[in-house]
Amino acid sequence: NTSHPPYCAAIPHSTAQHTMLSLGSLRLRGYAGRSRAPPRGRFCLTRAMAKPMELPSSFTTLRPLKDMVLVKTADSEKETQGGVLLPDAAQRKPTSGDIADVGPDVKGLKKGDTVLYSKFGIGATDVKVAGTEYCMLRECDVIGIMPTAAARIEDVPQMKPCQDRVLLRVEEAADATAGGVLLPSSAKEKPTIAEVVTCGPGKEEDGEHVDVKLKPGQKVVFFKWAGEKMNMPDGTEYNVIPERDVLGTIQA
């Protein structure tokens, strides 16, 4: 069927043995961009909700090809923190979920992994199969693997970054100028110094494996707009960025 993307294959009910779903869920609710940390147990990565491509009811299984990953997405946020119900157009969809299947060229992910994935992935496609919503994306757009299927925001420091990404603990922005003038939040310089917490396994380039050169414990300066920011309940900020966005290491 030419209407399906070239990186997946839809299988009719008559030829599918089962729907291949045995998944937990990691709920990431929409707290991105707010000044305070999200409530306990909730993540802050979200992306604008769009209507998914829905396969005909005769298809119950979707199998990814090449380096594609099929992720069962967590539920959308249906109300604001204050309890205001959101219309469908204003609901936000979390960029997290459990891997339902992987293509044959995927190296570092497997079925059942609970993952965070990039909201800016090129070619990421929302699709609904037999009433269940998924996101089909490339392996390179998966940010990291959470330690358990029931992971919470407090588990971010134990997240395993994917490919050449590194997990950073970001230093706090200065509250005052060198002359002692207190700064409002809007005037604080965006922090660009962080400590490396965990490094990914590296990635394939031109047929060769390239390891991440950074090491846990190193202090680094990074490109200020890079990565995916995550705020802990205690206010600690973490960021996951590709190693190429680290500008250099620093020492006291």
Q: What pLDDT does 230 receive?
A: 87
Whole-number Å distance between alpha carbons of 240 and 167: 5
**Of 64, 68, 70, which is closest to residue 8 (Cα–Cα)?**
64
**Of 228, 70, 66, which is closest to residue 144 (Cα–Cα)?**
228
Q: What pLDDT does 231 receive?
A: 87
For the segment 149-200, what is each residue's pLDDT rounded down to a tens digit?
877 778 889 999 999 999 999 987 554 445 555 545 554 456 689 999 999 9
Whole-number Å distance between alpha carbons of 58 and 53: 15
Mean pLDDT over the full length of the chain: 75
**Of 101, 100, 94, which is closest to residue 118 (Cα–Cα)?**
94
Using the structure block, give the residue that is written with the tokens 């997990």: 167
Average pLDDT estimate for 99-104: 96
Residue 165: alpha-carbon gap to chain centroid: 12
Q: Confidence class of residue 29 from pLDDT cuts 50, 70 and 90?
A: very low
For the segment 39-67, what is each residue's pLDDT rounded down to a tens digit?
444 444 444 456 889 999 999 999 999 99
3-class SS of residue 155: helix
Whole-number Å distance between alpha carbons of 106 and 68: 7
Phi, psi of 189 (to 5 degrees): -70, 135
